[in-house]
Chain A
């Protein structure tokens, strides 16, 4: 199969590359030629005109919940990969809070098998402890060998300092990060950020200090052990400040933020819409300000959606009873382009770092580049397309989003990976 992509702009800050009106010839899954005005054989080559489009190293969402095995009614590996592809991601890293948890080589292999030949690469994150219970370490060496890229008990923090210490010491052997959901269990009774709004809305408060305490614990433990800690879905201003300070001391800590945590505040909960219920909860303007600062100065390395599909039966419940989380794969890039690029918080280069280069480095993955002979793995962006989110058009099995009907500027219009192309909602091969 030969496909010629014509007249696009190629951008990859890692290669110091910014080229307009460039062409790329794809043969199977590899870059065969890359240059201006490539000639081609009409009969043998499919030509796709990408005028006005920006092609960048494939974006990865390093924090998604694919729900399989266990809750295939909410999402499957296949439907989750579709959502990723339609959202503009060539890869995802999936969290281990499935049923059973990803805590054995068998489950890792099950996920790898299910996602084989998909346009989206799936990298399993394995549980740090057996069953995510915080008692015994998971078989990290074997998990890595079968394909796990990181360890996490996501949904909760690693239960005790002692097991966290051992997890960091043990994972150091294989240089994989421990991804932490930072929340102090003893402060976790509640369903929205503690502050004036929890007082006004009468919802049980979840204080930001609950996140801060575990971020601090984890930073200290990373420093003490020399292990790698990645802070998942950072949401509080204090946590951002602590990560900034830790980085200045060269402690091995990285952090991600979700689009909803830099877009929405807890003011929005006045509607009691359960699609605004997530953990960590939406916080305040002050927190968003610090998060934007952290994105700018590099304290926050990446953007990840925490894609958390839930069935309508579960979400259409009384607020306290509804589960936490929202889907994010199909809105993430549009929100980041709208809120960060068009509002001049980040440049496009910086967006490529946050969505592709940094998360891949954290997970020890190869960063795609525009080089002949390399695997072609790219995201195609239209920075200026104005579009409206329509949850009914999501290809994810679940529609639990607070962003329905939101007007966005900028969209991922396609991806190229594994010899397949998805462009404007259609697969080409």
Chain B
């Protein structure tokens, strides 16, 4: 069964079977990552462009490694966003890239909807590597993969996404994907960081971090984006840490066996205390490893569709 779409733009409307297929395919690729020679010829002759309009070294490296391990030709194209209005338009850039005969484009952009726009401008398969505060589907897939790997299931699992939900592309993709897979999803964070009518998506909203810890099997803790405007949304870092920060003290007080994910990079001492970030409940580095396997799976499934 192939994927039902030739692009991966977001997790909204991605059917359960597709998610299942990507997770299962990632399983086989993960095994390759443990071999001494970490390369398969699967995408030999295919060209993938990593078109990054926003700095994201981690995501780009993860995609690039995934591409190289599948033997695709990987090209990085980074565009500074500092002078968007003066530079070449996205349309012209994409037309140029396409004229060089590429097969797939991985795009990261600060404006929501740009990956969709790309599909209207070119014939390549498009993978969204994060668009504004909209979606980041491969992050959600690697989160799901890691959860499934650790807990063994997704259905009826209680997962809480913690932090700045409104300014996170990870949150929305996780919500869609987790709900599709039958998990029970909640969010926890300051009310100014919960987007409007989120509850309409069937998501429970919690304002107490203690309650979030007690009631859930998994916490997916988001980075507080200090560099963004996020700071205008809560009174002080001190107050955030005091009421929403996750510390080992807090985990001990509320029990319990819990799985903690974080998409990185971590603000140590803010959303996670250092001992939690390095502690027994977190699976942060496994997420990073799984990220390569997931991206290999997505690249492979889309790249071999045609």
A interface residues (Cβ-Cβ under 8 A, vs B): 194-196, 198-205, 271-272, 313, 316-321
Q: How many A-B residue pairs have CB under 8 A?
A: 67
A313 to B86, CA, bound (A): 12
Complex contact A202–B131 (CB within 8 A): yes
Bound together, the chains give a CA A272 to CA B112 distance in angstroms of: 8
In the complex, A318 Cα to B85 Cα: how many Å?
A: 11
- Min Cβ gap B29→A in Å is 29
- The reply on B206 being an interface residue by CB < 8 A is no
**Residue contacts A-B, CB under 8 angstroms, 22 given:** A194-B196, A199-B196, A200-B12, A200-B172, A200-B201, A201-B112, A202-B112, A202-B131, A202-B135, A202-B172, A205-B195, A205-B196, A272-B113, A272-B116, A272-B117, A317-B89, A317-B90, A318-B109, A318-B114, A318-B117, A319-B111, A321-B84
Flag whether B132 is at the interface (Cβ < 8 A).
yes
Chain B, residue nearest A198 (CB): B196
Bound-complex Cα distance A200 to B200 (A): 10
A195 touching B197, Cβ below 8 Å: yes
Q: Are B111 and A196 in contact (CB under 8 A)?
A: no
CB closest residue in chain A, given B173: A202
Point out the residues of chain B lying under 8 angstroms from A196, CB to CB: 196-197, 200-201
Complex interface: chain B residues within 8 A of A202 (CB): 112-113, 131-135, 169, 172
Given A202-B112, A272-B116 in contact, is the A313-B131 Cβ separation under 8 Å?
A: no
Give Cα A114–Cα B196 distance, bound, in whole angstroms.
48
Contacts of B131 in A (CB 8 A): 202
Asked whether any CB of chain A lies closer than 8 Å to the CB of B198, the reply is yes
A318 to B200, CA, bound (A): 27
CA gap between A425 and B274 in the complex, in Å: 73
Interface presence of B91 (CB below 8 A): yes
Contacts of A319 in B (CB 8 A): 111-114, 117
A204, B201: Cα distance in complex, Å: 18
Q: Give the CA-CA distance A318 to B198 in the complex, in Å.
A: 25
Q: Is the CB of B89 within 8 A of A316?
A: yes
Taking the closest CB of chain B, its distance from the CB of A205, in whole angstroms, is: 6
Bound Cα distance from A413 to B35, whole angstroms? 74
CB distance from A178 to the nearest CB of B (A): 32
Least CB distance, B169 to chain A, in whole angstroms: 7
Shortest CB distance B299–A (Å): 23
Could you tell me the distance between the alpha carbons of A316 and B133 in the complex, rounded to whole angstroms? Answer: 21
Chain B, 63-81, CB within 8 A of any chain A CB: none
Cα separation A26 to B12 with both chains bound (whole Å):
62
Chain B residues near A318: list those with CB within 8 A. Answer: 84, 90, 109, 111, 113-114, 117
- A199 to B111 alpha-carbon distance, docked (Å): 14
A200-B133 Cα distance, complex, nearest whole Å:
10
Q: Give complex CA distance A198, B114 in Å.
A: 15
B91 contacts A316, C-beta separation under 8 Å: yes
CA of A204 to CA of B134, assembled, Å: 10
From known contacts A195-B197, A202-B172, infer whether A321 and B85 are also in contact, taking CB-CB under 8 Å.
yes
Task: Specify the chain B residue showing the minimal Cβ separation from A196.
Answer: B197
Contacts of B109 in A (CB 8 A): 318
CB of B91 within 8 A of CB of A321, answer: no
Once A199-B196, A201-B112 are accepted as A-B contacts, the answer to whether A320 and B89 lie under 8 Å apart by CB is no
Extra inter-chain contacts (5) besides given A198-B196, A319-B114, CB under 8 Å: A200-B12, A202-B135, A202-B169, A272-B116, A272-B117
In the complex the two chains form, is B134's CB within 8 Å of A201's CB?
Answer: yes
How near does chain B come to A421, taking the closest CB pair, in angstroms? 42
Interface hits, B95-149 → A, CB 8 Å: 109-114, 116-117, 131-135
Task: Considering the complex, give the chain B residue whose CB is closest to the CB of A199.
Answer: B195
* Bound: A199/B116 CA distance, A: 17
A205, B116: Cα distance in complex, Å:
19
Minimal Cβ-Cβ distance residue in A for B131: A202
Inter-chain contacts of B134 with A (CB < 8 A): 201-203
List of B residues within 8 angstroms of A195 by Cβ: 196-197
The residues of B that contact A272 with a CB separation of less than 8 Å are 112-114, 116-117
- A201→B196 contact, CB < 8 A: no
Q: Could you say which residues of chain B place their CB within 8 Å of the CB of A201?
A: 112-113, 134
A321/B196 in contact, CB under 8 A: no
Contacts A203-B112, A318-B109, A318-B113; is A313 near B172 (CB within 8 Å)? no
Contacts of B112 in A (CB 8 A): 201-203, 272, 319-320
A32 CB, nearest partner CB in chain B, Å: 56
Residues facing A in B209-227 (CB within 8 A) are none
Chain B 169-182 per-residue mask, 1 if CB under 8 angstroms from chain A, else 0: 10010000000000
Chain B residues near A194 (CB-CB < 8 A): 196
Chain A residues, CB < 8 A from B113 = 201-203, 272, 318-319
Instruction: Give complex CA distance A157, B259 in Å.
Output: 50
> Which B residues from 159 to 194 make CB contacts under 8 A with A?
169, 172
| B198 interface neighbour in A199, A205, A320, Cβ under 8 Å | A199
**Chain B min CB distance to A314 (Å):** 9
Q: How far is the CA of A200 from the CA of B131 in the complex (A)?
A: 13
A207: nearest residue on chain B (CB-CB)?
A: B196
Min CB–CB distance B193 → chain A (angstroms): 12
Q: How far is the CA of A321 from the CA of B114 in the complex (A)?
A: 11
B128 to chain A, nearest CB (A): 11
Q: For the complex, give the distance between the alpha carbons of A117 and B195 in Å.
A: 54
> 8 closest Cβ contacts across the A-B interface?
A202-B134, A272-B113, A202-B112, A318-B111, A196-B197, A199-B195, A320-B111, A319-B113
Please, which residue of chain A has its CB at the minimum distance from the CB of B198?
A199
Bound: A271/B112 CA distance, A: 11
B117 CB contacts on chain A under 8 angstroms: 272, 318-319
How far, in angstroms, from A144 to B77 measured CA to CA in the complex?
Answer: 56
Q: Which of A199, A204, A316, A321 contacts B197 (CB 8 A)?
A: A199
Q: How far is the CA of A320 from the CA of B195 in the complex (A)?
A: 18
Q: Known contacts being A200-B12, A202-B133, A202-B169, is A321 close to B195, with CB within 8 Å?
A: no
